[in-house]
Structure 1
Amino acid sequence: MPRSNATATQAAHSHVTVIGAPAAAPAAPDRTKQRDAFFDNAKYLAIVLVAMGHAWEPLRSGSRTVTALYMIVYAFHMPAFIVISGYFSRGFDASPEKIKRLVTGVVVPYVVFETAYTLFTRWTDGVPDRPVSLLDPLYLTWFLAALFIWRLTTPLWKSVRRPLPLALGVAALATLAPSIGDDLDLQRTLQFLPYFVLGLCLKPEHFRLVRRGEARVLAVPVFACALATAYWAVPRMNYAWFFHRRGAEELGVPAWYGPVMTLALFGCSLTLVACFLAWVPGRRTWFTALGAGTLYGYLLHGFFIQAANHWHWSHLEWTHRPLGEITVTLVAGAVVTALCTPPVRRLFRCVMEPTMAWAFRPDRATGPRPERPSRLAGTLARHER
């Protein structure tokens, strides 16, 4: 494989872009040393917030504080995850090797978990006749369907002059079109598109900027203001806007609210994403290695959430008290942390990262082709003997 192609593949799929690293590097560095601890830390912390947000859902109606925290988390946790996903999709060029990775790392898990969630929620939701539909993502699987579409369109966004304004325009128009429907959760895919495109446009120096000491200090009052604003907005705002699942008219407001809210939420979310990234440690920590298994934690923790909701844990009075809410939060964090660990990843790797060598032709570009001796070389060799 040419050196340039190897570098692109490494950056896009191994998540090894090292911010601030010197240009020179060992010829064959260890894989674990190549990963940037900052991004693994960010992915782990984001996935913990995802799990906590899902655990808070049944507690929203009984606590204004929980609802305010819920709004804040939903304003930036998935945007942060999507921005990072876009950043590491910059090397996607629709080559056979990249398409293979897209199928094995996104399509196969989508099919497996869409089927699994459908069968599981037949029991938890009491809907025994719920059909398995690969066109209607259920629960958490929407992200895989969206990631598939975003990655396939990456070459387009890399070729246009102004990709981010164009993506914002697409997202704004999506809020005006409730007829888009639920196929592949396209409404949410289009409304979250600008965050992925932003990730494609980012460079290492942009992340260095938010990791400066001044940014960490500035993030404190900004986040405090966001918390106060969210607390004030709880009875005044429909937080369904942060889900990006519905058009403006479906949320009970005039259609022109859609484009306005698209821009407002994008600015709000990016500000909070910057605050979040400013606080993410750049050094290796006890949870850095767990950042490689965040997709496992994301897809698997939903079964625990669904089962817990089936048993109506939120009906317990103590869970609606401050100590109970803190306990629920810590349990959610502990569960998703356990699901990111190496033993769980080894157990589910067959469906999350299958090799599927049987399904694909060998990639001739992965290694040098053996040279066939010419007839002249064979004749000279015989004469030498």
Structure 2
Amino acid sequence: MVSEAVGTAPVPATAAPPGPSKQRDAFFDNAKYAAIVLVAVGHAWEPLRDGSRSVDALYMLVYAFHMPAFVIVSGYFSRGFDGRPARLKRLVTGLVVPYVVFETAYTLFTRWTDQEPDRPISLLDPLYLTWFLAALFLWRLTTPLWQRVRAPLPLALVVAMLATLSPSIGNDLDLQRALQFLPYFVLGLSLRPEHFRLVRRRAVRIAAVPVFAGALVVAYWAVPRMTGSWFYHRDSAEELGAPAWYGVVMTPVLFACSLLLVACFLSWVPGRRLWCTVLGTGTLYGYLLHGFVAQGAKYGGWYDPAWVREPIGAIVVTVVAAVVVTVLCTPPVRRALRFVVEPDMRRLFRPDAAEEAGDRAAARG
């Protein structure tokens, strides 16, 4: 059965932060690459969780911060979204089209792997990894509103807290998840470059070591005592078997814990260009494609040998997952599959007045 525990995603480049410079910041590309590796590794660990408290603790720790990190960075790179025609076009080509393509592809693929030939293709009920594309579409559409209201972050937290009270929200576009992750996106909208520079100071990098060590100890303690599903943000409190008011309390608590871990994670991200920097520009490909490998590995019985359940097996699985997602982010893969992940759909849209004026000016020049 396809896991519903997916809580990670890349940052499609459908909007960019405002500013005069168009040069890419190596820090963000490095951060996206590191995060997509954690995405793939987390999915690879999932079948190993049963019977291994250590793997389960590592899994819980990773899920506590890697999705919030992606959503925060997505919010930061959505600051320039203002609803202009050019932005809306990129929203369609960068999110809507990949959503339709991969929602269909994953449904067809899981009909085979899950042996459910009658599973319907539903564009309103995101399957597996595609939920993030639907959520990011909704978040970006509401960006102008969040940039104009007073106290946007407290308001977004209240929305998320109220969402945990309602098990009747349903699965349409995975709205429960979109609402519960909303505060992280709104926080990203409020951040500036200097905020990221603050977490990259030497003092923060040093402090991150005991913080992560302590978080791992807490996760190990929590494994038999709480469900890690709280970190997926896909269910109401009642659906997790807790009283409704738990969600109201857990939402700000998890938000604070996740932000602390996100800051520690970002403090370790290098700011200079590295061999992996270029791979950070292709995380959308790694994200959307690695799910086929993860699902196929379970169906193909790759986890069946006894040695895979041993510590050496967990290490091998981790390395293989990191290598696979790295390959999927490389330029050759991007060039081969750009037509489905980042399609050129200029013929679908009429050029707006500004574009036509720019074309005329270019022709005269």
Query: Secondary structure of the equivalent of 1:177?
Result: coil
SS at match of 2:247: helix
Query: Is the Cα–Cα contact under 8 Å of residues 290 and 328 in structure 2 kept in the other structure?
Result: yes
In the alignment, the residues of structure 1 paired with residue 24 and residue 239 of structure 2 have an alpha-carbon distance, to the nearest angstrom, of: 43
Q: % of aligned pairs identical?
A: 72
Contact in 1 for aligned 2:17/2:80 (Cα 8 Å)? no
Q: Indicate the residue corresponding to 1:205 in structure 2.
A: 194
Aligned to 1:314: 303
The structure whose Rg is larger is: 1
* 1:44 paired residue number: 33
Q: How does 1:64-79 map to 2 (within 5 A)?
A: 64-79=53-68
Which of these residues, 272, 282, 297, is aligned with residue 286 of structure 2? 297
* Matching residue of 1:344: 333
Query: Which residue number corresponds to residue 90 of structure 1?
Result: 79
Are 2:56 and 2:223, in contact at CA under 8 Å, matched by a contact in 1? yes
Q: 2:113 is matched with which residue?
A: 124
> Alignment partner of 1:159: what SS?
coil
Q: 1:217 — aligned with what?
A: 206
Look up the equivalent residue of 1:275 and give its one-letter code: C
Structure 2 residue 153 is matched with structure 1 residue 164: yes
Aligned with 1:61: secondary structure? coil
Do 1:16 and 1:35's aligned partners in 2 also have CA atoms closer than 8 Å? no
Aligned partner (choices 232, 235, 250) of residue 221 of structure 2: 232
Q: Which TM-score applies when normalising by structure 1?
A: 0.88
Matching residue of 1:81: 70
Residue equivalent to 2:142: 153
What is the CA–CA distance in structure 2 between the aligned matches of 1:134 and 1:160, rounded to whole Å?
A: 31
What's the Cα RMSD here?
1.5
- Residues 292-316 of structure 1: CA deviation (Å, up to 9, x unaligned): 0001000000000111111222221
Could you say what secondary structure the match of 1:135 adopts?
coil
Cα deviation, residue 269, structure 1: 0.5
Pick from 262, 272, 277 the counterpart of residue 283 of structure 1.
272
TM-score by length of 2: 0.93
Residue 17 of structure 1 contacts residue 35 of structure 1 at CA under 8 Å; is this kept in 2?
Answer: no
1:58 to 22, 47, 51: 47
Amino acid across the alignment from 2:335:
R
Which ranges of structure 2 fall in alignment gaps of 5 or more residues? Answer: 1-12
Q: Secondary structure at the match of 1:143?
A: helix
Match of 2:170 in 1: 181
Paired residues of 1:53 and 1:73 also in contact (CA < 8 A): yes
**3-state DSSP of counterpart to 2:126:** coil
Match of 2:324 in 1: 335
**In the alignment, does 2:263 pair up with 1:274?**
yes
Aligned partner of residue 225 in structure 2, secondary structure = coil
Q: Residue 179 of structure 2 corresponds to which residue in structure 1? A: 190
Matched letter for residue 50 of structure 1:
V
Paired position in structure 1 for 2:231: 242
- Tell me how far apart the structure 1 counterparts of residues 202 and 360 of structure 2 sit (CA, whole Å): 53
Corresponding residue pairs, total: 348
Distance in 2, matches of 1:93 and 1:14, equals 9
8 Å CA contact 1:15, 1:35 repeated in 2: no
Structure 1 position 239, deviation (Å): 0.6
Distance in structure 2 (CA, Å) of the matches to 1:365 and 1:35:
25
3-state SS, counterpart of residue 275 of structure 1: helix
> How big is the shift at 1:15?
5.0
Residue identity in the other structure for 1:106: L
Displacement of 1:278 in angstroms is: 0.2
The answer for unaligned runs of 5 or more in structure 1 is 1-11, 26-30, 372-385
* Cα distance in 1 for residues equivalent to 2:324 and 2:300: 17
**Taking structure 1 as reference, are residues 14 and 285 closer, same or farther at Cα in structure 2, changes over 3 Å only?**
farther
- Answer yes or no: is the 8 Å Cα contact 1:48–1:333 preserved in 2: yes
Shift of 1:17: 7.6
Code of the aligned partner of 1:334: V
Alpha-carbon offset, residue 183 of structure 1:
0.5
Give me the whole-angstrom Cα distance separating, in 2, the residues matched to 1:16 and 1:208: 16
Matching residue's letter, 2:331: P
